[in-house]
Amino acid sequence: MSTTDWVLHVDIDQFIAAVEVARRPELRGRPVVVGGAGDPTLRGVVATASYEAREYGVHSGMPLRTAAKRCPDAVFLPSDPPAYEEVSEQVMATLRTFPVVVEVIGWDEAFVGTHLTDPPEELAADIRAAVTAETGMSCSVGIGDNKLRAKIATGFAKPAGVYRLTKENWVAVMGPRPTAALWGIGPRTSAKLADLNVATVADLARTDPDVLADRFGPRMGPWYRQLAVGAGDTEVTATPWAAKSRSREVTFQENVTDPELLREQVIELAARVAADVLAEGRPAARIAVKIRYAPFTTRTRSMTLPEPTSGAEDITEAALAVLAWFDQTRAVRLVGVRAEL
């Protein structure tokens, strides 16, 4: 019997909300929103929402106050990253008990590489059962012949299911769908493609790469067409996932118009980021500052450091230099500092 290489994408369903519900079983079946300090009367944004809350139009990145208006009966909880990290580690350890290669790509998802004679759906079902038994989490599994197809397949598997997407059914499944259905194409790019009369994945697959290169550049344009035909990386590596950046931010309860206060906040945030960088054990190569002006316009600027560093003084100095590039006469509702590693 012949064997086949498969890529599976394992994604924990509504991960952060699921962790919170597991700690508070009485919340099961209720709309749960996690984010900020867990108080919708204070400023903050949604980190995640349970499926029940999503039915009311609540989604990640939405202001907590808006979420409360859309779903006034929701239970609001503060974020607890250490708890999520602990459960994530349990999930990944469970995946590693199988004879597969596990490539962690975030708290709640990983690629699994395997060489099978049996249908991959059997392995996917075993993985789902093991994750639930060991961690209490529910997961969805996408099966593909490369990472792109496996990742997209997971969207069809959710919630708590398994779906296979390969070159055999790619055109039938993805061809009629909008370009934004592709992993790597967001709303803005999709709108730009629509300006070229490219509305569907099939349209994009038929588009001349030179036309795309003229519109999106010689690298991105052809790459979008590669996405449309389902091309992707097939190699799953066991290199442990590591954050590419460390960031800290604060949302003000009242808009800040005092440049000195803003400067003090950046100094404090930079110190916390520097401590995170030092704990990570990898120096920062670039420092970014994010500012959200009232009512909700966000700007980010960054600078490359002369050389990678974990020094708090260097990181703070760079953050203040970047802050000086912003218009500080406008009211600010959020400021953040990020170190790219």
**Cα 322 vs. chain centroid, distance in angstroms?**
25
**Cα 36 vs. chain centroid, distance in angstroms?**
17
Phi/psi at 29 (nearest 5 deg)?
90, -5
The full DSSP string for 164-177 is EE-TTTHHHHHTTS
Rg of the Cα atoms in the chain: 22
The four Cα atoms 221, 222, 225, 230 give a dihedral, to 10 degrees, of -130
Contact 103, 239 (CB under 8 A): yes
**Can you tell me the distance from the alpha carbon of 31 to that of 75, in angstroms, rounded to the nearest whole number?**
6
Q: Which residues pair with 247 in a beta bridge?
A: 338
Tell whether the torsion through CA atoms of 82, 42, 59 and 272 is positive or negative.
negative
Stated as kind and residue range, the H or E segment containing 134 is helix 120-135
Classify residue 205 by its DSSP letter: H
What's the Cα-to-Cα distance from 304 to each of 275, 307, 309, rounded to whole Å? 19, 8, 11
Classify strands 109-116 and 4-12 as parallel, antiparallel or unpaired. antiparallel
Query: How many CB atoms are located within 10 Å of the residue 270 CB?
Result: 26
Active site residues: 109
